[in-house]
Structures are given as structure tokens and as C-alpha cells.
Amino acid sequence: MSEEASMVQGSPSAEETRLQGEAEPRPAGSVWAPVPSRVELVLGGGDAAEEHLPLEEAGNGWWRPPSSAAGRVAEALARGERYGFLLDGEGPYPDPRSRRQPDGVHALSAGFDPAAHAWADDTWAGRELPGSVIYELHVGTFTQEGTLDVAAERLPYLADLGVGFVELLPVNAFNGPRNWGYDGVLWYAVHEGYGGPAAYQRFVDAAHAAGIGVIQDVVYNHFGPSGNYAPLFGPYLVEGAATGWGAAVNLDAPGSDEVRAHILANARMWLEDYRVDGLRLDAVHAFVDRRALTLLEELQLVAEDVEAATGRRKVLVAESDLNDPRLITRRARGGYGLAGQWADDVHHAVHVALTGETAGYYADFADPEALAKVLRGGFYHDGTYSSFRGRVHGRPLDPATVRPSQLVVSSQNHDQVGNRAAGDRPSAVLGWDGLAVAAVLTLSGPFTPMLFMGEEYGATTPWQFFSSHPEPELAAATAQGRVAEFARMGWDPALVPDPQDPATFARSVLDWSQAQTPDGARLLALYRHLIAARAELPGLWSGGLDETEVLSGDSRTHEGSGSGEPGARWVSWRRPGAIVGVNLGPGPAEIPLPAGFSGRIVVATRDDCAVVSAGSGEAVRVPGVAGVVLSA
């Protein structure tokens, strides 16, 4: 049997078994199922005659087809035939490593051969996170059609914008036609409504042709509530160790070796079979993992192994609420070695500075120095008291071990928009000038910026939480849970839309005509200029964390903070070869420039920004709410 045939179902490759401690690749049609005492493979269905094939125990909870039938099973799955498993006579249930679910997550799986795709990206070498701009998108709402193939048609637009990576929200199989993706239950299968696995390979190929890397958002901290049959097979979950979304995934309890192998094989699948350039690891703070060698480190080892084998850069970026520098500190220095992590403190500081909203977790960021602090050090909570948590939180980043480009920042993203009561974007309260300043703060900061689809032209379409659970009790629980979730933020429950209402989903689909309006086109042009300035002035993002000098001032000016008319509030930062100044308004400000300044304005959000003489030196005059990027 060929190695390609053995990978049809998602079984690990020979190299993967080395990392996972397995003796040999598993034959197609194999399954890990230590819970039942009897397992049968159901082969066929649909247009094919159904066959029940008793499986043989293969040790360590694994079951496999008898050797006499192994070749026939592999060939059937390579053809895409339906299959599933009977557990002690119950079922059939889909394969936990299913690559396709053509008829939904409750139905039989279908074989898929990832080697059948003729790749056209052989010269692609991957991308580095430093210097790149990430663009986060949800396939189902990025276009009216909501498919990977139609999304691929907009990749040249993203390349022209200057995007380096697209980050796809989870695409794994979920129940129903509409979902954010975080209710996925079959981690190996690409949602059929998006086009399935073949369309996913076409999308990655098209992205690489456009010079864009692909980061796939993966969820290893929980399973969705509908269609999760994995616990019937094995101890995938630990009851009593709950996350915010249900029982925790079993990472360190009995039986967890194979659960971790399941996760590592999934990561390898994305990096190898689908040739993605990186993974965004969802909510790693929800991992219940007390092992000496953590899952995060093992995932990084898999990424490095694939990188070495393919010669293509692979990056892992974690979403973490911990403000823990270990995630992005090199393993040789006691860290986990990941390429990057989200830094939500930057989002919160930007949001509060521009909108004045201070409810819930935004309260701490009402500190007038919050914006300056995150620009200087990345974390606001770095061992400081968090009123929202009611305790001290975080730890400082060490400039000797962490670079600012390892922090992924945004002024809006799927969480910070979608987890608001009404799913409203900053464009609901900010005018053009405010949106332009948000762009300067994120794109010209020392970190790696991430855009949320549509923000580049000031999209006003909300991005609301939507689902399509067919079970009435689950639909009701989801709607009630959303209302309860917002209590601590002080939002009006009446604003929370019904996640199950198709109109909630329809409102969240981008309206691309907004990019053609005068304000939309002007903001889009500004985003292009700001991204181009990152290439012209690499000092904005290259270099160390301690190479950022931050100044700030307001109507209560202090020594060394420059001058401005009463009411002006500004922040400025200097990086090697570059200076950025932002006036948060409402009045004009004169932001001081270094002695002997001989640079020029590279980008300004208003035409009347200008370098002027001020006292004993020079300053950049920024009228009202505006931002400016200068060479130094």
C-alpha cells in the first residue's frame, strides 16, 4: 500500500509517527477507539452498496481492517467512498479524523486523497511574520457566495493592498450551514459549504501565486456542542475540567497520549497536505496541560519538523489571555518558541483612546498612559492589578528575548467585534478621522498588524455572533448564553441579536460596494500608503522592543511633552529611522521632533499636517484628530 493511500483518511505519515511515538503508519480505515469492545467499519452508502467489516484490535486502543481487506479499503477511500464506524453495534458514526463530511457532521465520512491536487506553488518558500500584515477573514461572510473559490478571486485585491498573510477563521466541519467556526467537531474536515478540502487546496495555491501566505485558525481547546461523537470513541474530553465552551480537551489525563497525537497529526495535516504557512492557535489559555513538555512546545516541534522537510517557513501564533512572555520566548531561554502571540492589550488601549468606552475589561485602559505603555512594552498588564480580573495579571516582556514583531495587534478583530452585544465595528462610533488614526496606531506601531476584513475601507456592516444549530434546545441555550455573557460589560441585553436568526448572519456579510464610496476609497488608499510605508521605513517594525521611545501630552502638558492648544491629546513614538505622531484631538497639537530633524512626512491622514518651527526646535503640527508618519 502506498504512503498516499495510507494518508487518505488522515492517518499519520512515517515521519509523524517518530514525533508521536507510534511504531508505523496506520492503514486507511483504522480508528482509535479504546471505549467500545467491538468496532466495525461501515464502507459504502449513497450510490455504493454498504458493507460491514469487523475491525481487528491493533493495540493501544487502535482498530484496523484485517490485512486481507486493507488494500480494498484504501482504494475505496481514495475514490471518496462513504464510510463510518459502528461502536458496539451503535452508529454508524463519522471518523474522528474524517477529511470530508459531504452530508453534514452527523452523517458518514467520505475519503479524500490530498495527494491528488496538482500544486503550482513549488517555488513558494513561505513568509516571515516580521514585516508582514495579516488580514483576518471568515470565509462565509467575506463574500456573498461564502466559498473558498470566490474568496480566492479577491486575493489579488489583498496583494495590491499589501497583505502578507490571510488568516482564515476556523473552517473545520460544524453542524448546520452557518457558524463562526468555533463550534467545529471534526477538526480534519473542511466545511463542505465552503467547498470542502479540494477547494481549500485551490485557495492556498491561489494565495501563494499572489504572494500571500495562509494562516489557519485551529481550535484545540474544545469541541462544538452538536455532532461531537469523539467521546464515544475515546477519552477526548475531561469532564469536570471545563472551559468557557464545555468540557476541556484531555491533554494530560489518562489516555491523553493519543489525544495529543490526534492534535499533532491535525497540525501536520494543515502544514503538509494543505501547505498552509502557519496556524493561529485559539485560546491556548484554556488548555489544561500540566505536562513537563507542553502541547504548545510539541506543536512548535511539528512546525519546525515540517519546515525542515519542506524548506518553507512555518509560523505558529497563539491567542492567549495570559500576557505570558514564555509563549514567544525561545525554548533555549525557557520559552515555548512560538513565532507570535496576540496582544489584546494594544487593542484595548487603542479602542479606549479613540472611543472613550471604559466598561468591563476596558476600565483599566482609561489610564491616560495606557496607550503609551503598550506602545513601549506591548503589555499593559505586566504584573499590574487588573480590576476586571480582580487580581494581578501578566509579566513584562524581556527586550533581550522578545521582539515587538512577535506581537500581533489590531484595532478590530473577530473577537473584539463579534463579542460585542450588537457586533458593531468601530465605524459605528468613529468618523473617518478616527478610523484613520486607528489605522496609523496599528499599522505604524512596532508590532505585527492584523486587519479584520473590511476595516480597510471602513466597513459599517456588523459582525455578529451567528449559528445554525438544528436542535431547538441548543439554539435556545446559545441565545440565552449570549445575553448572560454580556452582563459584566454592562451592555443592553435588548441589543443582542438572535444567533439563530438567518438575518443575523446576513447582516454580517461584507458589503463590498462600500469600498467604492468616496470615504471608503479614501480610507482604502490610506491603508495602502501606510502598508507601503512599512516597507519604506522598516525601522517601524524591525529591531528590538527597547528601541521604541514614546512621548505623550495633553492639555495638562508636562515638562518635555511638547505644546498644544487646550484639549489636544497626543502620543508620539520614535523607532530607528521613523517617527509617528497621533493627535487624538479635539484641538490641534504640535508634536515635538528630535533636535536636528531632517526627515519628511511620508504619510499623513490630513493634508494640513506640516513640519513647523516650535520654540527651540521643530515640531509636526497635527490639526485635530489625525496621524502622521515621518522619516527620521
Catalytically annotated residues: 282, 319
Task: Check if the beta carbon of residue 136 is closer than 8 Å to that of residue 278.
Answer: no
Residue 410's closest CA among 375, 452, 374? 452
Residue 216's closest CA among 156, 273, 276? 276
Cell numbers 509563549: residue: 327
Angle at 541 between CA 540 and CA 547, to 5 degrees: 75
CA distance 465 to 482: 9
Task: Check if the beta carbon of residue 164 is closer than 8 Å to that of residue 448.
Answer: no
Task: Assign 517 to helix, strand or coil.
Answer: coil
CA distance 502 to 497: 10
Task: Assign 601 to helix, strand or coil.
Answer: strand
Burial class (CB in 10 A: 0-12, 13-18, 19+), 136: buried
Q: Take residue 431 and report the three cell numbers written for it.
A: 468618523
Q: Take residue 571 and report the three cell numbers written for it.
A: 502620543
Q: What is the DSSP letter of 97?
A: T
Helices (H), 394-517: 414-418, 432-443, 472-485, 502-507
- Helix or strand holding residue 264 (H, E): helix 256-268
Angle at 560 between CA 382 and CA 384, to 5 degrees: 10
Total residues belonging to the chain:
632
- Cβ count near 396 (within 10 Å): 15
In sequence order, what are the residues at sequence separation of 6 or more whose Cβ sits closer than 8 angstroms to the Cβ of residue 297? Answer: 331, 336, 337
Q: What are phi and psi for residue 56, nearest 5 degrees?
A: -100, 145
Task: Check if the beta carbon of residue 316 is closer than 8 Å to that of residue 300.
Answer: yes
CA distance 422 to 409: 22
CA distance 29 to 403: 45
CA distance 242 to 263: 19
Burial class (CB in 10 A: 0-12, 13-18, 19+), 311: exposed
Residue 412's closest CA among 366, 468, 457? 457
Residue 553's closest CA among 600, 592, 579? 592
Q: Which residues partner with 246 through β-bridges?
A: 243
Q: Which residues partner with 590 through β-bridges?
A: 563, 621
